[in-house]
Amino acid sequence: IGDKYVGDTFTITGTTNLAEGNDLLVEVVSSSFQPTEKTQSGEFCGASGTIEVTKGDTFNEWSFDVDAATFKPDEYIVRVESIEADVTATATFNVLAGVPPTEAPTEAPTEAPTEAPTEVPTEEPTTAEPTPTPGFGALIALAGLGAVAVLVLRKH
């Protein structure tokens, strides 16, 4: 499953040899969750639901959507249990505080210029003055706005 962050929405998936159409109970619970005294808060974070096994290529598949908006930073246990058969599987993952790190753009390595003999022209060539293209700045602004929208939608 890998590390997730508070506020992430993600899908937990798996494969099974159970028949297509079988129901599975999925529980995602903080590993710190335990019984408390009546005077203490019993508040916890997690998710649960019933899902159905779907047809897969080699093995059948299942998936469960998780919204970690209310999760607290902690280790979480995923328990997937068949309702019809006596089969259970578990996995763990961490929910971390903060926001996921964004990958810094990597610059392509630049080659050091090599000195090569160049011919010196005897006449100076004339070059036409480039004409500015109107609206090019607006195109860049729209592309930047689109990139921000994609990042915001991926985060939610």
Q: Which long-range contacts (CB under 8 A, 24 or more apart) does 145-149 make?
A: none
The tens-digit pLDDT sequence of the chain (156 residues) is 778 888 888 898 989 988 899 999 999 888 776 555 666 555 567 888 998 999 988 899 999 998 888 888 888 888 899 888 888 888 888 888 876 666 655 565 555 555 545 454 545 445 555 555 555 455 555 555 555 555 555 555
What residue segments make up the domains of the chain, in order of their start? 4-34+43-96
4-34+43-96 placed in CATH 2.60.40.730: yes
Task: Give the per-residue SS3 of the chain.
Answer: CCCEECCCEEEEEEEECCCCCCEEEEEEEECCCCCCCCCCCCCCCEEEEEEECECCCCCEEEEEEEEHHHCCCEEEEEEEEECCCCCEEEEEEEEECCCCCCCCCCCCCCCCCCCCCCCCCCCCCCCCCCCCCCCHHHHHHHHHHHHHHHHHHHHC
Output the pLDDT for position 41. 57
| Full-model pTM | 0.57
